[in-house]
Chains A and B, each alone.
Chain A
Amino acid sequence: MTRFSLGKYLLPTYVFLTFLFLMVPIGYTFVYSFNDSIKSNIIWRGFTLDNWLNVCDQADVCGAFGNSLLVAVTATTVSTVLGTMIAIALVRYRFKFRSATNLLLFLPLATPEVVMGAGLAAQFLDFGWTKGLTTVIIAHVMFTLSFVVVTVKARVATLDPALEEAGRDLYASPMQVFWKITFPLLLPGILSAAMLAFALSFDDFIITQFNSGSVDTFPKFVYTAAARGIPPEANVVGSFVFIVAIAIVIAVQVRSAMKKRKLLSK
């Protein structure tokens, strides 16, 4: 019987401790965003809201954050459109070179970032392109595309083709079928793919460092700043992004829980 009680408490305790461990650096970053630091943000010097209220006093942090947003929004838009198109084709159509296509889509997921980063940089050198925001966006579309395909594909696979057939039977044009039936049904999948692509792009460092030239993104700013100590304003930006992301995740979960409850009560 001791075995039973051990099993009962051991696993939950372990899970609790591991989650505590996972949260440590997040808590640390958050707490030190309120540090009244002078030069480096290593020693705790007292609580202040200054860093939060005047983030842009550290102009570099703000500029880098702006660049990251611009890159993430642009890259997400492009890769979501391209990836959704591919995902629909993969599930709905039969075509030759299917396994070659699968392989081409899978390879970027299996390639270390440093290889993709160095490869693109080598190509930009060969082409004689100057590195900057454009090359970063090109790189981000490339490495987020496959993630979009995987996510949307899962959603397309759950769609009942009969719904579209019904639309066609009622003389809807292919465009009407897509915009009135397929697209609205796919939307949750497309949105989660876009969120994933955005998160990946926003947090990317390695590929960005190889292809950004002198342009700073937020992760690149943190990397460069690490040599002399990261200013608390960077902790503010990191914590702010964290809070927004968690809020979105919770909102999505609450919404789907409410939908389920509605369905059950009907």
Chain B
Amino acid sequence: MAFVAFGSQAPAKEQGPSKTGRVALFLLLPGLFYLALFFITPLVSLIITSLKAPSSTGAIGRYDLGLEFGNYVYALTQYAPQIFRSFSFAVLATVIALAISYPIAYFIAVKSRNRPLLRGILLTLVVAPFFISFLLRTFAWKQIFSNDSLVVNVLKDIGIFGADSYIIGTNFAVVFGLVYNFIPFMTLPIYANLDRLDLSLVEAGSDLYASPSKTFRKITLPLSLPGVISGTLLTFIPISGDYVVASRDFLGGPDTAMIGNVVEANFLRIQDYPTASAISVMLMATIVVLVSAYVRRSGTDDLL
């Protein structure tokens, strides 16, 4: 037994020959250089663009280098409702997705631990939505909830809905769509964490006469917290920048626009690059603050 334990531990032991030098550089540099060129400098471009001033020639979509901090003030005052809405939607959708996903992750990781077939099927089903286009899925919900659809008509018939009630275009529809699309992102990290949960700890809890709910609160939940945190980040970050679900062509309406919709409209439609960039920079700054709070807790080696 001791030998088996030792063997399974071996790979986790200190691995690297301390050879730094050329090989490591050869392996690292191409990829890191790529990221520097196409991830870091674009962020710098974004900051520079966010400070540009309208071109002195007056041409639309042309801007001169500048230090127009007023762009930020303009973006904040002009788009305060959308910014506020984005973060409220993101918080709400993340919390709901967590509430829906945790029991699923728990069931797959803990309750079906000894049934590999069931577990394989359930895991496949969790990721199944990834295999059909995000946009098609969202559009399917639009049609399911459209004004003369079966769902809406039934709601009207039972009297839950008034004659001119509707779902598409409401805040409810947008949050619903966000929750739906991001359930897998929440479920997978929690599953991955609970999968490593040592069940003997739970048993110990019940041996010591703790009730099932107390064992869950005192043992399972605290141990699964890292999974909950990464699930929350993986859900919150993409939602805060999404603009497909809230788009009027999908589940949104005139009053559901989020930050992403503002950036899209300003950048790609009216070519107001500085405003679009200023909003993006502020979004990025908020996310960086959030993530660095997380990094401070767990260090950089746990990130990847």
What is the interface of chain A, defined by CB distance below 8 A to chain B?
A: 7, 11-12, 14-15, 18-19, 21-26, 28-29, 32, 42, 82-83, 85-86, 88-96, 99, 101-108, 110-116, 118-123, 125-126, 138-139, 141-142, 145-146, 149-150, 153, 157-162, 199, 203, 205-206, 209-210, 218-219, 222-223, 226-227, 230, 234-235, 238-239, 241-242, 245-246, 249-250, 253, 257
Assess the A89–B249 pair: CB atoms within 8 A. Answer: no
User: B87 on the interface (CB 8 Å rule)?
Assistant: no
Assess the B243–A93 pair: CB atoms within 8 A. Answer: no
**Known contacts A119-B42, A142-B34; A92 and B15 CB within 8 A of each other:** yes
Q: Which of A118, A150, A227 contacts B249 (CB 8 A)?
A: A227
User: B287 on the interface (CB 8 Å rule)?
Assistant: yes
User: B116 on the interface (CB 8 Å rule)?
Assistant: yes
Assess the B131–A241 pair: CB atoms within 8 A. Answer: yes
User: B18 on the interface (CB 8 Å rule)?
Assistant: yes
**Known contacts A103-B300, A112-B287, A257-B116; A119 and B45 CB within 8 A of each other:** yes
User: B100 on the interface (CB 8 Å rule)?
Assistant: yes
What is the interface of chain B, defined by CB distance below 8 A to chain A?
A: 10-12, 15-20, 23-28, 30-32, 34-36, 38-43, 45-46, 48-49, 100, 103-104, 106-107, 111, 116, 120, 122, 124-144, 146, 180, 183, 212, 233, 237-238, 240-244, 247, 249-250, 259-260, 263-264, 267-268, 273, 276-277, 280, 283-284, 287-288, 291, 295, 300-301, 303-304
Assess the A116–B39 pair: CB atoms within 8 A. Answer: yes
Provide the bound-state CA to CA distance between A12 and B108, in Å: 10
Q: Which of A25, A32, A93, A245 contacts B16 (CB 8 A)?
A: A93
Can you report 15 A-B residue pairs in the complex whose CB atoms are below 8 A from each other?
A11-B106, A24-B140, A25-B129, A25-B140, A26-B128, A92-B15, A96-B20, A103-B303, A112-B237, A112-B283, A118-B263, A199-B130, A205-B135, A209-B268, A242-B132
Min CB distance B208 to A, Å, is 19
Assess the A119–B120 pair: CB atoms within 8 A. Answer: no
Chain B residues lying within 8 Å of A29, measured Cβ to Cβ, are 132, 136-137, 140
Q: Which of A126, A149, A218 contacts B304 (CB 8 A)?
A: A149
Provide the bound-state CA to CA distance between A227 and B252, in Å: 12
The CB with the most chain B CB atoms within 10 A, among A14, A115, A230, is that of: A115
Assess the B28–A105 pair: CB atoms within 8 A. Answer: no
Assess the B28–A126 pair: CB atoms within 8 A. Answer: no
Assess the A219–B135 pair: CB atoms within 8 A. Answer: yes
Assess the B131–A246 pair: CB atoms within 8 A. Answer: yes
Give the secondary structure class of A's interface: helix
Assess the A218–B133 pair: CB atoms within 8 A. Answer: yes
Assess the A25–B237 pair: CB atoms within 8 A. Answer: no
Assess the B301–A102 pair: CB atoms within 8 A. Answer: yes
Assess the B304–A85 pair: CB atoms within 8 A. Answer: no
Min CB distance B191 to A, Å, is 12
Chain B residue nearest to A138 (CB atoms) is B38
Q: A93-B27, A146-B304, A226-B139 are in contact. List 17 more A-B contacts (CB 8 A).
A: A11-B107, A15-B103, A22-B126, A25-B140, A32-B143, A85-B28, A94-B20, A96-B20, A102-B301, A105-B304, A106-B300, A116-B42, A122-B273, A162-B10, A245-B131, A246-B124, A246-B131
Assess the B19–A93 pair: CB atoms within 8 A. Answer: yes
Q: Which of B27, B40, B237 contacts A89 (CB 8 A)?
A: B27
